[in-house]
Structure 1
């Protein structure tokens, strides 16, 4: 995440210390899904068992294909603003921070994201690169969002939420569909989708996409010299679904490749160049490449009327050559599960999961480590990361109106030689046919990764001729013109404990078929072993190197700052979410949601001023989130859609000396869409305006060095070939 930072941006900040309305007629039933069908939609992400939304004792939501298309989003991250409880903040024109019920920060790893049950995450930090999710929006059937812990079912990272992107079956995928979109900031997108019947039992589908845009839609001065840069993204996917009697086989191949124009370079400290008067930084233009390719198969065997066995095998290759994540990974996932829908009158699920990740971190030379703006290094370049898990989940109807769900997962991680238990207990009570209440408790953990353990991050900054005051002794402060070289090292901790979260929830569900669905829930979470970077004064220091400095200076101030990973922070978070879907009439639908969260952090040990500041910084998160979507079919061929999103700002505690820099801003965005269908002989047209009346908005605190995002507009034409 946040890969678009320029090397010059870092130095500059630190040194001062589409889319169609309907894909095609074959998808019209899906896209016009009524609320009655929505309440009966089968969701698998909460239990790995296909249950209706109304029957799941958890905070579960579905973003439909129609809602995605009518929102005008161009990424999965942006689509998640349609669900409650998710804080989506845009960093640049292709970088996002997304969180649920916790802090929103770079390399967040407490939310599990999947495509058809296959995890999409960067094994380096076990989090999500939101710009590298290999899925076409036009191939999404729906997105399932489960808030709260689902570690029993899915294992590590299913801590605060699970996002499962369900793609369309090959039989229902878009057929003979091509599209093109163009907009400001050099945005271009081209797609081709096709699907068909190969035989009586086999359907296949495939797609290819190409996207080009500028990295920034910003008027900020710092990016203007680089506005000729581009980001190029290619995606492709192939799916086959075969069914014959009691056997079902589904296979997928796909991938994504992202190329980014980039400025890189090396610092040239005068004292390391014999005092030669050279530029502080020697930049050059290059291209950063990140990619992921995957292949896998699902095999389902019916063993009887109530029993079935499923086997999944996935192979995923991912790599990046950016200095903050210069590594490649080959991941092998195997999942075996057995389900019996009539086990002593209940539904039993048993499963076994095995994962192996072949990791390799690129080594850096001594010069690169000293002179690069930043690098990430590992104690050993190659590593075999293994985990194995077994789990069960049992859903039992105590009475006709009361259901209990009990489960546990035992998961072993080779990286820290620990086995963790992730249990859950949930109960649902139906009040009437359309009303129910539920309560639950669950425990989940963050998947251990090498980053923050045996992988370390190093940041370097150099600038000549800086006026600096240096304390040479307790009562001796010297001020003068110096060259200044600073290296900041974030040192991991090999025996780092994995963060664990216990969450208690209660909720209420109401469904009035064809008209209204309403969900409200409250939660309370306790999180332990939260990793934070603690300043290490014993390893930090400064010295003055005289001679060989730039003209007019008295020497070079060389500073070494060391932070070490600690897990002595815990937190208590409380809040809730409300979600409403209301079909006002057959032509007008309104979706709205609101979320609230409050974080209270604690430290295990004596609280110094620095620790208190750290805790207040951790608690400094937007508390109020809201969004609303209106979809109006004005006529049979003309529609209008609008999405309004709000995230509250923060007022940090006065104990923070840099309170203004760490404060989150108030964010209000409004997107407006117009669609014509058909426009002309199979052509459909959509006009989208994003950030209407709110040009150059920054959605992050100043300390994050985020970029302003401008108003964007684009026109998309979809052609459904005969």
Structure 2
């Protein structure tokens, strides 16, 4: 197999921290006295949005075109740059803990089980994740390797999230939710920055530099490295799955003309958690042109190269994946009461896989395409109060052929401070390459007298006849501002699933090649259907610019029905793989002009499928603005228990770990 690894152990992070931070701190100290009190302008840049500003925030995750957050006819939530900074978190998966109703569980040092409205897990396949509109989805299992979602957090402008389907714009696999990580324009990151953290379980360092390029452009470069120690096994021993990762990248933004802009992004990354090992890079170009009439065009082009290695011996798998995408979108000038938006997209994949057995993959190399078009029309039924949104995505893929994913959304503003919305949408989850082509064996029982002296192994499915999984979603929501400093948001949903995947078992067979063993083969089918329903409540109170309180609660139930012809013993397990109730409480207070206190408490219900008990945890951040250039923060996580378990063991995945209490010190230096 071909390799292009940069082994993490080639660089000592602790040495890097000393070399990078010491000169910067000395340089700052040698500049002479610095004011102990932040300037008013500097302090204001650190404050979060009030409720009026948040309501007016322009988001584009629902339909690709900017609209006010308060006008979104969906369960949309936004994590702002201030939310990210004051969380104290160091990874994107941790930030998603702050999103009401999201299921976020840490499996081990680097692996996460994340979902929305059920069907989460390490190999969750119904949540679409993007960075600046570029999908980080892998066709290997129709999901996300969260190790790849490794942005420099200081460069994120906001994270937009939709709970519920977004397939009419984003396409297949945007079934239960959509996440779009939006990075800052290069003009917002001029100058130098060093950010570092170190504690009892993790340490990391990042550096960034931005500068003007010519008269109309800006460019920034960044590099970062993170190391995380292994967590504890379920018997309290230290595991061997520590994580080391490196990431470098750039973003450039140019105003080519008064009407034309160009954005260029590129990155290289490498990560090793013992299993898996990942390596890759990408390059994206995006051009936008605005017309005097109010119309605009967008053209996006990107190429991504990703390499993965996981498993050992007969379970070894090595994939090299190339992705190319060309997307064109056009927003039409207003046509009376109609606001039309449409686009075309072409995506090409080439996946080359090697396994530890000769027949583990068939074919070894597969090239496949995804071609799609979408159209949306927002109709103003009554000026300023009643709106109807009609849209659909039409796709053709090489696995299931033509897929149509329409939606109907409506919103009504009974008062200037409130929005009532409703939606009906269809979304599909298309089969993945692992389901169609991959065949992996894993030991179920070791050799013993009870097994006739031979081990029993399970052979994973390979089936060319799978259909897409289908969701019809019904949603109803209400946003209300009963006072200037109070905001309420409630969402109700009912999901009707059909053609869900099942794993059908076959008769136990004795096989001698390549070694004697009993083989329990599994085939895949679409013999499961079901329903889920729930509620999500969010309350936001901003008594002043110096304080914020946000509380949320979510509850969900699921009922699955197995076809009479199905013998899948695990078909109904998803009913017990998600927390039926969750709650969160965030409190942020400026104790004085230069001192911040942030607390985040969360309750997560039990996961009966994995024997994981309900738990309550608390994260705390104490931040100190030493001067306008230096910020220190002491962060404590999981403070209520020495350790706790958040998830269990999935097929071909690590067993759960005990997630420990930890603390670390963080420093941010603006040069």
For the 8 Å contact 1:601–1:619, the answer to whether it is kept is no
Query: 1:673 aligns to what?
Result: 621
- Correspondent of 2:645 among 689, 695, 698: 698
In the TM superposition, 1:448-597 aligns within 5 A as 448-460=431-443, 463=446, 466=448, 468-469=449-450, 483-511=453-481, 515-537=485-507, 540-542=508-510, 558-597=517-556
Quote how far apart the aligned CAs of 1:586 are. Answer: 2.0
Query: In structure 1, how many angstroms separate the alpha carbons of the residues matched to 2:198 and 2:500?
Result: 44
206 and 460 in structure 1: CA distance in 2 versus 1, 3 angstrom threshold: same
Give the 5 Å matches for 1:176-187.
Answer: 176-185=192-201, 187=202
Query: Secondary structure, in 3 states, of the residue corresponding to 1:138?
Result: helix
Q: Which of 179, 199, 202 does residue 217 from structure 2 map onto?
A: 202
Distance in 1 (CA, whole Å) between partners of 2:435 and 2:628 is: 57
Q: Is the 8 A contact 1:665 1:701 kept in 2?
A: no
- Is this contact kept in 2: 1:123–1:329, CA < 8 A? no
Moved more, 189-198 or 428-437: 189-198
C-alpha distance in structure 1 between counterparts of 2:248 and 2:41, whole Å: 23
Tell me the SS of whatever aligns to 1:38: helix
Quick one: distance in 2 between partners of 1:202 and 1:122? 33
On the 8 A contact 2:308/2:319 being kept in 1, the answer is yes
Aligned counterpart, 1:65: 81
- Aligned-pair distance for 1:341? 4.0
Alpha-carbon distance between aligned partners in 1 of 2:237 and 2:190, rounded to the nearest angstrom = 39
Q: Is the 8 A contact 2:649 2:655 kept in 1?
A: yes
Are the structure 2 counterparts of residues 99 and 25 from structure 1 closer, same or farther at C-alpha, using a change threshold of 3 Å? farther
Residue number in structure 2 paired with 1:240:
252
Gaps of 5+ in 2: 1-37
Q: Is the 8 A contact 1:157 1:447 kept in 2?
A: yes
Deviations 1:628-674 (Å, cap 9, x if unpaired)? 211111011111111112111155xxxxxxxxx63342122211111
1:347-496 correspondence to structure 2 within 5 Å: 347-365=339-357, 377-400=360-383, 401-416=385-400, 418-460=401-443, 463=446, 466=448, 468-469=449-450, 483-496=453-466
Compute the displacement of 1:81 (Å).
Answer: 1.3
SS at match of 1:433: coil
Determine the C-alpha separation between the residues in 1 that align with 2:250 and 2:197: 23
Larger Rg: 1 or 2?
Answer: 1
Within the alignment, does 1:317 sit opposite 2:305 as a pair? yes
Q: Does 1:96 align with 2:137?
A: no
For residues 442 and 617 of structure 1, the distance between their equivalents in structure 2, rounded to whole angstroms, comes to: 22
- 1:136-215 to 2 correspondence within 5 Å? 136-173=152-189, 175-185=191-201, 187-214=202-229
Q: Secondary structure at the match of 2:298?
A: strand
Distance in 1, Cα, partners of 2:351 & 2:566: 38
Which position in structure 1 is the counterpart of 2:231?
Answer: 217
Deviation at 1:154, TM superposition (A): 0.5
Asked whether the 8 Å contact 1:413–1:448 carries over to 2, the reply is no
Task: Output the CA distance in 2 between the equivalents of 1:39 and 1:525.
Answer: 28
Q: Is the 8 A contact 2:91 2:150 kept in 1?
A: no
* Cα gap change, 1:512 to 1:50, in 2 (>3 Å): farther
Partner of 1:687: 634
Kept after mapping to 2: 8 A contact 1:31/1:65: no
Determine if the alignment matches structure 1 residue 647 to structure 2 residue 604. Answer: yes
Instruction: State the match for 2:611 in structure 1.
Output: 663
**Larger RCO (CA under 8 A, 6+ residues apart):** 1
Q: Is the Cα–Cα contact under 8 Å of residues 362 and 438 in structure 2 kept in the other structure?
A: yes
Q: Could you report, residue by residue, the CA deviation over 1:286-341 in whole angstroms, capped at 9, with x for unpaired residues? A: xx530231111111112332111110001111111113652011100111011014
Q: 3-state SS of the aligned residue for 1:493?
A: coil
Task: Determine the structure 1 residue equivalent to 2:329.
Answer: 337
The offset of 1:620, in angstroms, is 4.8
Alignment partners' CA distance in 1, 2:382 and 2:423: 18
Q: Following the alignment from structure 1 to structure 2, what is the Cα–Cα distance between the partners of residues 27 and 219? A: 44
- For the Cα contact (< 8 Å) 1:440–1:506, is it kept in 2? yes
Q: Distance in 1 between matches of 2:147 and 2:425?
A: 30
Deviations 1:242-288 (A, max 9, x none): 112110111101132102346xxxxxxxxxxxxxxxxxxxxxxxxx5
**Which residue among 252, 267, 282 is the counterpart of 1:294?**
282
Residues 607 and 496 (structure 1 numbering): CA distance in 2 closer, same or farther, change over 3 Å? Answer: closer
Residue 707 of structure 1, aligned match among 639, 651, 657: 657
Q: Is the 8 A contact 1:27 1:172 kept in 2?
A: no
1:634 aligns with 2:591: yes
Q: Deviations over 1:616-637 (max 9, x none)?
A: 5545532111212111110111
TM-score, normalised by the number of residues in structure 2: 0.88
Alignment TM-score, normalising by the size of structure 1: 0.82
Q: How far has the Cα of 1:194 moved from its partner? A: 1.8
**1:620–1:663 Cα contact (<8 Å) kept:** no
8 Å CA contact 2:338–2:379 kept in 1: the answer is: yes
Measure the CA separation in 1 of the matches of 2:192 and 2:178: 33
Give the superposition deviation at 1:363. Answer: 3.9
RMSD: 2.4
Q: CA deviation at 1:64?
A: 1.0
**SS class of match (1:705):** coil
1:87 and 1:617 mapped to 2: Cα distance?
A: 13
- Paired residues of 2:371 and 2:395 also in contact (CA < 8 A): yes
Secondary structure class of the residue paired with 1:126: coil
Alpha-carbon distance in 1 for matches of 2:373, 2:111? 35
Residue 199 (structure 1) shift: 2.8
Which residue number in structure 1 is paired with residue 264 of structure 2? 251
Q: Which residue of 1 aligns with 2:293?
A: 305
Secondary structure of the structure 2 residue equivalent to 1:328? strand
Query: 1:460-495: CA deviations, max 9, x gaps?
Result: 36756x4x336xxxxxxxxxxx64422210122111
Identify the match of residue 346 of structure 1 among 315, 338, 350. Answer: 338
1:51 matched to 2:51: no
Q: CA 1:160 to 1:136, structure 2 compared with 1: closer, same or farther past 3 Å?
A: same
What secondary structure does 1:455 align onto?
coil
Quick one: distance in 2 between partners of 1:157 and 1:28?
A: 40
For 1:362 and 1:210, how far apart are their aligned partners in 2?
29
Does the aligned pair in 1 maintain the 2:281–2:305 contact within 8 Å?
Answer: yes
Decide whether the 8 Å contact of 1:75 with 1:137 is kept in 2: yes
Match of 2:14 in 1: none
In the alignment, the residues of structure 2 paired with residue 326 and residue 338 of structure 1 have an alpha-carbon distance, to the nearest angstrom, of 39
Aligned length in residues: 623
The answer to whether the 8 A contact 2:104-2:115 is kept is yes
- Residues 612 and 645 of structure 2 are in contact (CA less than 8 Å); yes or no, is this contact kept in structure 1? no
Farther off after superposition, 248-257 or 167-176 = 167-176
Q: Work out the CA distance in 2 between the residues paired with 1:436 and 1:304.
A: 31
Give the SS at the match of 1:68.
Answer: helix
**Deviation digits for residues 176-209 of structure 1, max 9, x if unmatched?**
1112211113x22111012222233111112110
